[in-house]
Structure 1
Amino acid sequence: MADYRFYLQNPASKEGNYLVDEILFQSKGAKKGGAHFAFMSSSGIDLLFKDERFISFIKDNHFFLTVGVDAITDEKALNEILKFNEKYANLVIKFFITEAKNSIFHPKFIWFQKEKHYVHIVGSGNLTAGGLRWNVEAYSTYICSVEKQNEIYNWEKFLTENTDFLFDHDNERVKLALKRNTENRKILAKIAKDKSILLDEDTVKDEIPEPHPDNTILIAEISKNGDRLQQVNFDKDNFFNFFDATTVQDEATYNLFFQVNKDGLMQEKEIRPAVVVKSHNYRFELNAVKGMKYPEEGKPIGVFLKIAAKSFLYMVVLPTENAHSVLDEFLTEKLGISSNRMRRIRIKAEEIRTRTPDLPIWVKTTLADHI
């Protein structure tokens, strides 16, 4: 048995084909695995290791992670992975430092062993938020039988032959390299403020894409589904053509939602399946409305800004908030007045941004703390 598939990760496409989704999908049912990346960042760790699908794998199965320290990988990334390691002892972390001049540790692949086959995912993306989701990257998934695979043997042979270059996180050489990378990223972050200088995205920052005037935004009244809300319902058109949902029960189909609160602070990411449930309800459970008491007068209005394929900033504006009257007036202007029908409209972000310049969703927010 052998199966080879090539993917282009493209946040601007409808599918996205995100590397992190493929890794999470292939981790299901795995007995053990490993990953080997040139670089890692705290935001990349957040995307992969904090996902419940990966946690369900690693809590019972061994996972060997090797990371380079030639660039990018910094003290913040180490602190983040150690927090995870404290909870899950099945994770083994080693840092590779090569002695060769003019050479760096640069592989990018991950593998899983399942009951009857191996899965190899090899590509250009690092263990960073950009590499796993936000950058344009390419990767391949190769599935082969246990009997016919020899790639893992070759890799384990390489590690055995190079044990002198594998170090724990508390090794002095590792600590010095991470400190150097931390300082370098601070310097590069200052340089990046000069827009005329083009730098590698992973080199400077690791964050969600910045909202663009041409991004599509959905403004939608939120219907009542009980005295206290549990979910946000949508019409079929927006569910499929804006949120890129599917009718296929494929566990790789998930959307990321980032709530922006009224103070402009982005909350922890929400991972939601983008699949029609058996009841044919077109809805997402979102933290912003969970347990919220439905207003006695007026309807809450959801603002959903699409920043990439299957990726959204959002906020919920209540009738008591100043921005609500502006959004309500806009909906009336475009769709008229309706007492029982939920009004929803998709437009370019710039069209509503000019009328709501103080809406917190326009504030520059990031997955990572500012460097």
Structure 2
Amino acid sequence: MLKFQMAGATNGYLLEHLILESMGARRGGGIFAWANSGGVRSLLEDDAFDEFLLAGNFRLLIGTDSITDPPAVERLLEISTRRPRLEVRAFMSPSSSLFHPKLAWFEHDSHLSLIVGSGNLTMGGLRSNWEAFALLKLRGEDRTEALQGIESFLTHVTDHILPISDPRVLVRVKQNSGNERSLRTPVPAPPPKSPAAASVDEILIAEIPRAGNRWAQANFDLHNYENFFGAKVGSQRRISLRQVDSTGTIGELESRPSVEVASQNYRFELAAARGLPYPSNGSPIGVFLRLATGEFLYSLLLPGEPGYQEIETLLAGNWHGRTDRRRRVRFNEDQVRAAWPTSPLWDAALPAL
């Protein structure tokens, strides 16, 4: 199966397929030319991939020629310390030739999943760049030959591989400068209407229902589930979110699977709601910014908190549905900025995730 990852698309991206193929695998591995901390977190700290690491072995080889930076190395070292079944090594090129492969494989009882393409272990490569990759499910002799080829390559370059914990790796990546964004050619564009407009595609403001005692599993209507978040009924998708709190602090990446239940509710878990009692004096409101990268920033507002009244008023003035339904309305950035100009979301939206 050949897949094209479209810049800004909300589904069909490399990260999603890597996670899906890890499910049920006994072991696997990956070879990537570049890594950054966002890409490392997105894959290795995803709940489903972490579950795989608890039972299955994964060998990861990362290049150090360019882009790979100290935060990525430090994150890889921290994760591999917590997950001993994850073996991370670094390729130290002995010449001016770039180390440039990008592939991953997962061994299942019935087949070998092999993903080969252009995407690196970076947020751009996994989600937001224009990329292409092929997903192959190999059996029999094809499976055997592919695994032998991988082992042959790793054996051939063994003299140029160091454990990620080797101090020489950190010294080497400190020499790298720039990031994926620095490789892009600037494209002239009309001036945006506001500072964040170039980053924000659309905004969803949604009341979060109680849903029993598990309101952190936030319910959404079908239309927004598919057309705002990019999920699809009958096919599990994953979305990437980060919470922005009242101080403007951007939280850890939340890679969430879509969840459908028999009651025709459609859910994503929100870390910001974990452990909080459902308020008795009004409904929590989520403000979700969909960025041009296809990722999401969100703030969760509770009654009485800064911004709650402004956003509740905006929501009430634009809701035209039934009074017994949870209110969910989509806006452009200018509409929400006018209602809540002091929101910490605006500064958070300026840098790409």
TM-score by length of 1: 0.81
The 3 A distance-change label for structure 1 pair 180 and 233 is same
Q: Distance in 2 between matches of 1:244 and 1:151?
A: 34
Which residue in 1 is equivalent to 2:126?
132
Q: How many residues align?
A: 340
Letter matched to residue 223 of structure 1:
P
The answer on whether the counterparts of 1:43 and 1:128 sit within 8 Å (CA) in structure 2 is: yes
How far the C-alpha of 1:107 sits from its partner, in A, is 0.5
Which residue in 1 is equivalent to 2:42?
47
How far the C-alpha of 1:48 sits from its partner, in A, is 0.8
1:44 is paired with a residue of what secondary structure?
helix
The 3 A distance-change label for structure 1 pair 178 and 354 is same
How far the C-alpha of 1:6 sits from its partner, in A, is 0.9
2:299 paired with 1:315: yes
How far the C-alpha of 1:217 sits from its partner, in A, is 0.8
Letter matched to residue 78 of structure 1:
V
Which residue, 72, 94, 119 being the options, matches 1:77?
A: 72
2:17 is paired with a residue of what secondary structure?
helix
1:235-254 map, 5 Å: 235-248=221-234, 250-251=235-236, 253-254=237-238
Which residue, 113, 118, 122 being the options, matches 2:112?
A: 118
Of 226-235 and 256-265, deviating more is 226-235
2:183 paired with 1:200: yes
How far the C-alpha of 1:172 sits from its partner, in A, is 5.8
The 3 A distance-change label for structure 1 pair 93 and 296 is closer
2:271 paired with 1:287: yes
How far the C-alpha of 1:126 sits from its partner, in A, is 0.8
Q: Distance in 2 between matches of 1:218 and 1:51?
A: 24
1:261-276 map, 5 Å: 261-276=245-260
Which residue in 2 is equivalent to 1:66?
61
1:1-371 map, 5 Å: 5-14=1-10, 16-100=11-95, 102-149=96-143, 150-171=145-166, 173-181=168-176, 184-185=177-178, 199-200=182-183, 212=198, 215-226=201-212, 229-248=215-234, 250-251=235-236, 253-307=237-291, 311-335=295-319, 340-364=324-348
1:147 is paired with a residue of what secondary structure?
helix
Q: What do residues 225-278 of structure 1 show as CA deviations (whole Å, max 9, x unaligned)? A: 458844433333222322233221x44x12222221111112223333324212
Q: Percent identity over the alignment?
A: 36
Q: What do residues 6-51 of structure 1 show as CA deviations (whole Å, max 9, x unaligned)? A: 111124235x212111111111222221111111112211111111
How far the C-alpha of 1:171 sits from its partner, in A, is 4.6
Please provide the CA RMSD for this pair.
Answer: 2.8
The 3 A distance-change label for structure 1 pair 161 and 223 is closer
The answer on whether the counterparts of 1:215 and 1:305 sit within 8 Å (CA) in structure 2 is: yes
Q: What do residues 101-155 of structure 1 show as CA deviations (whole Å, max 9, x unaligned)? A: x311110111122213211111111111211112221111111113223233223
The answer on whether the counterparts of 1:116 and 1:146 sit within 8 Å (CA) in structure 2 is: no
Letter matched to residue 13 of structure 1:
A
Q: Distance in 1 between matches of 2:321 and 2:201?
A: 26
The 3 A distance-change label for structure 1 pair 84 and 295 is closer
How far the C-alpha of 1:218 sits from its partner, in A, is 1.1
The 3 A distance-change label for structure 1 pair 284 and 69 is closer
Letter matched to residue 296 of structure 2:
F
How far the C-alpha of 1:310 sits from its partner, in A, is 6.2
Q: Distance in 2 between matches of 1:326 and 1:124?
A: 45
Q: Distance in 2 between matches of 1:117 and 1:80?
A: 31
Of 262-271 and 291-300, deviating more is 291-300
Q: Distance in 2 between matches of 1:172 and 1:234?
A: 48
The answer on whether the counterparts of 1:125 and 1:132 sit within 8 Å (CA) in structure 2 is: yes
How far the C-alpha of 1:57 sits from its partner, in A, is 1.9
How far the C-alpha of 1:316 sits from its partner, in A, is 2.0
Ranges in structure 1 where 5+ consecutive residues have no aligned partner: 190-197, 202-209
Q: Distance in 2 between matches of 1:228 and 1:54?
A: 23
How far the C-alpha of 1:328 sits from its partner, in A, is 2.8
The answer on whether the counterparts of 1:213 and 1:349 sit within 8 Å (CA) in structure 2 is: no
1:24 is paired with a residue of what secondary structure?
helix
Q: What do residues 274-323 of structure 1 show as CA deviations (whole Å, max 9, x unaligned)? A: 24212322333323334434444443322111125763211122331342
The answer on whether the counterparts of 2:8 and 2:294 sit within 8 Å (CA) in structure 1 is: no
Letter matched to residue 136 of structure 2:
Y
TM-score by length of 2: 0.85
The 3 A distance-change label for structure 1 pair 103 and 247 is same
